[in-house]
Amino acid sequence: MAARSPGASLTRAAKARAGETSARRGPAPPRWVKPFLAALADTSNVAAAARKAKIDTSAAYQRRRNDAEFNRQWQIALCEGYDNLEMELLHRLRTGEVKPPPGAKRAARSFDNATAFRLLAAHRESAARQRAIRDQVSAADIRASIDRKVEELRQRVLAAKALSERPRDAS
């Protein structure tokens, strides 16, 4: 095992104290990025997330165009927002929302979810794509899984055929 030279570690430590970042990391993101992404995950709404982060929506869109990592985080936040919306929708479908109808004194359960369904439909494909990336499922893994299932089915068919072709006892 080779020993590190003391000069090399001091150089790294000195760089860290000076606040230098590695070439791979780049500069630290602006302060608004974390609150923006958190709000985007909560709301699935860029304008609401921008308001929460106290920025103009154009700043967020510009950063997304120019920063691949931010774009990746944006997609993850939208996927999380989609999951949250899906859970909320399922809850509403099961329990309804208590709202008073116009002019009524008592509230009644309402099950109007058309807007939520439109949002789900609009984000379904991008969320599915992000889940596949998150789960790191490769095409080779999918093919192997399909091949295993086809082989299991083939074995079942052969076993059933062999069973049906067996001579029966004449008792």
Per-residue confidence (pLDDT) for residue 111, from 0 to 100: 66
Domain boundaries, the chain: 29-156
Distance CA 108, CA 103 (A): 12
Per-residue confidence (pLDDT) for residue 154, from 0 to 100: 85
pLDDT at 15 over 60: no
Per-residue confidence (pLDDT) for residue 169, from 0 to 100: 61
Listed residue (132, 123, 135, 34) closest to 85, CA to CA: 123
pLDDT at 53 over 80: yes
Where does the pLDDT of residue 17 fall: very low under 50, low under 70, confident under 90, or very high at 90 and above? very low
**Counts for the chain of helices (H) and strands (E), in that order:** 7, 2
Q: Average pLDDT, whole number, for the chain?
A: 78
**Mean pLDDT, range 7-25, rounded to an integer:** 43
Per-residue confidence (pLDDT) for residue 24, from 0 to 100: 53
- Quick: pLDDT tens for 126-141: 777 777 777 877 777 7
- Quick: pLDDT tens for 55-104: 999 999 999 999 999 999 999 999 898 888 888 877 877 777 777 778 87
Phi, psi of 15 (to 5 degrees): -65, -40
Per-residue confidence (pLDDT) for residue 39, from 0 to 100: 95
pLDDT at 20 over 70: no
Just give the CATH number of 29-156.
Answer: 1.10.10
Per-residue confidence (pLDDT) for residue 49, from 0 to 100: 96
pLDDT at 171 over 70: no
Instruction: Considering only residues 93 and 37, tell me which one the structure prediction assigns the higher pLDDT.
Output: 37
Where does the pLDDT of residue 168 fall: very low under 50, low under 70, confident under 90, or very high at 90 and above? low
Is the separation of the CB atoms in 116 and 92 below 8 Å?
A: yes
Distance CA 26, CA 33 (A): 15
